[in-house]
Amino acid sequence: MKVLIVDDDGFVINGLKSMIDWEHLGVDEIMTAVDGAAAWELYNHHKPDLLITDVYMPRMNGLQLIKQIRESDMLLPIIILSGYDEFNYAKEAIQLNVAQYILKPAVFTEIEIVLKEVLNKRDVAEKKEQYFFGLRSQLEQSIPVLREQLLFDMLTAGLKISDIPGNRLQFLQMEEQVFSGGLVMSLIIHRETNKKTELEKDWQLYKFASYNIAQEIVKKSGNSYVLRYMEDRLPLLLYGTKEAACQRALEIGAEFIESVGAYLELNTNVGIGRWYESFTSYPLSHKESRDMLAMMEYEGHQKIFDSEASYDRLPQVWPAYSLDNFRQLSEALLRMDHDKVMRYWLDIERAITNEQGTSLKYMKTLCSSMINSLVLHIMEEDPAAMEWGQLVGFLESIQTVSTQELLCKRIKILLNQLLEIVESIYNIGRQHTYIQHVKNVVAEQYPNNISFVQIADDLHLTRNYLSSLFKRVTGESFTNYLTLYRIEKAKVLMKTHRYMIYEVSSRVGYSDPAYFSRVFKNVTGISPTDYTLGKS
């Protein structure tokens, strides 16, 4: 600590410097001045931790010095050392928040006791200030997290006005306008089947970069919040008037698609829910935004679907048509599973014919889209499988039917025709060729990192189809097959007693020996060490 002593009497200054045990008090530096003007300069340059000053001095007296200091520093401990004739200044000194007023002459031991008391109070005050500063800092750091959690609850669980007291909004630094009307939009980035996003750590970095892009766009837009990811979907809450929020949603969506495409070279889609006057309906807007994304799943990328605009163009009755059923139907078709194809179609048929008021035109549109997507999936596997004329014929046959019943019968006929086409393409011999290729890759590359996506690409197949085919033929998933193969190779190496466990781990494709040991025990029931020692 540093102490500044101000007195025009050199005897007093020398006495204080020599007679007080400053080191015991924790003081490292003592500065002195003979008047207030000189003391003011020292104060500004050195910022002492304690001021001891006389009152009556030339140029600038002690009270004038204290007044100037108090304009910028109300916490500096100040002790006045004054003669009897100057005691009438005590009242003014109290108003200036002076710690102690000592009358001259005073015994140095008494002065030292006062100094100790003042410095102790200063330490306590400083520690208290540090504590509250730390607490305030922690609270300020937690505000964004707490604010996001409140917004997350608003979009997912739904909240009532009683759940959000006014002081909570003030603490979270949120405007009341956020509860007076808004909409939810969902952004999704699509994970490409290439090396750029193959590794999970790389994919997470791309997601983080996309999140930052959304944050930058929202900062410019205002009246918006970006929430945390829900799987690969990024929800945004936009609040304000209906016209302004809807317009901003379209602008944000367009800029997000453009920026992610330009900087990250990833495909995206944007779904926008409808605007609602009350925040209690935000979960409904959130669901609508996700429904829009689901509608785009087979419509391509770089698109914006707006519930507000789409709602007016849709029929009065929206059938409860499950995209999961269609996805399952598509996968079953590629697996040539006739029974499941018909079962999944029956589920879809029930959904779209169950509702009163569903128009035939809407059902034709829906079925045309479904058949079109199925044909495209087949042609992805083998471009020569079908001609475009066949697809045109299929779609024309859907448009010519006159009733819902005939439409459903026509779809069954078309599905059977598609199954026959798939079966003619993927004969049993070719399937076994694919499976043998996968097994050969495992046998040759099992010590290395094997990419199943790359194997599928090499065979010009989709990952889902090859995975399904491999499991159907071998009875094992590719991951399980690779694991069992590596463990069998590990057993062979361990029986030689020539390698340490970590060497065996590395030689069969596991860089982490601890993880290898866990996998080995899960497969064999015993640890590698026990297996090496011959324990069962």
What tokens does 445 get? 């590359």
Half-sphere CA count of 392, side-chain side, radius 13 A: 3
What is the band of 115 on the pLDDT scale with cuts at 50, 70, 90?
confident
What does the pLDDT read at residue 296? 67
DSSP for 150-202? HHHHHHHT---GGGS-HHHHHHTT--GGGGSSEEEEEEEE---SSGGGTSHHH
pTM for the complete prediction? 0.41
CATH of the domain spanning 2-128:
3.40.50.2300
pLDDT for residue 413 is more than 70: yes
pLDDT for residue 313 is more than 60: no
What does the pLDDT read at residue 321? 56
- Where would I find the H helices in 3-61? 10-19, 22-25, 36-46
pLDDT for residue 92 is more than 80: no
Name the CATH code of domain 175-313 (choices 3.30.360.10, 3.30.70.270, 3.40.50.12780, 2.60.40.420): 3.30.70.270
What does the pLDDT read at residue 87? 61
482, 446 contact by CB (below 8 A): yes
What does the pLDDT read at residue 39? 92
180, 239 contact by CB (below 8 A): yes
Interatomic CA distance for residues 433 and 436, integer angstroms: 5
What does the pLDDT read at residue 294? 79
Domain covering 428-532 assigned CATH 1.10.3720.10 in the classification: no
Compute CA distances 334 → 435, 465, 468, whole Å: 16, 7, 9
What does the pLDDT read at residue 18? 87
SS (H, E, C) 387-407: CHHHHHHHHHHHHCCCCHHHH
Burial 79-96 (b: 16+ CB within 10 A, else e): bbbbeeebeebeeebeeb
SS3 70: helix
What does the pLDDT read at residue 51? 92
pLDDT for residue 312 is more than 50: no
What is the band of 293 on the pLDDT scale with cuts at 50, 70, 90?
confident
pLDDT for residue 298 is more than 60: no
What is the band of 196 on the pLDDT scale with cuts at 50, 70, 90?
confident
What does the pLDDT read at residue 84? 57
Condensed to tens digits (0 to 9), the pLDDT of residues 439-498 reads 999 999 999 999 999 999 988 888 888 898 888 888 889 999 999 999 999 999 998 888
Strands 50-53, 2-6: pairing kind? parallel
Condensed to tens digits (0 to 9), the pLDDT of residues 2-26 reads 999 999 888 888 988 888 888 888 8
First to last CA, the chain: 71
Interatomic CA distance for residues 161 and 437, integer angstroms: 61
> Average pLDDT, whole number, for the chain?
83
What does the pLDDT read at residue 316? 45
Query: Do 2-128 and 175-313 fold alike per CATH?
Result: no
What does the pLDDT read at residue 392? 84
pLDDT for residue 380 is more than 80: no
Domain spans in the chain, listed from the N-terminal domain onward: 2-128, 175-313, 315-426, 428-532
C-alpha 75: how far from chain center: 43
pLDDT for residue 166 is more than 50: yes
Closest CA to 228 of 315, 145, 288, 287: 145
| Mean pLDDT within 67-74 | 89
Tell me which amino acid residue 503 is: E
In percent, how much of the chain has pLDDT > 90?
A: 28
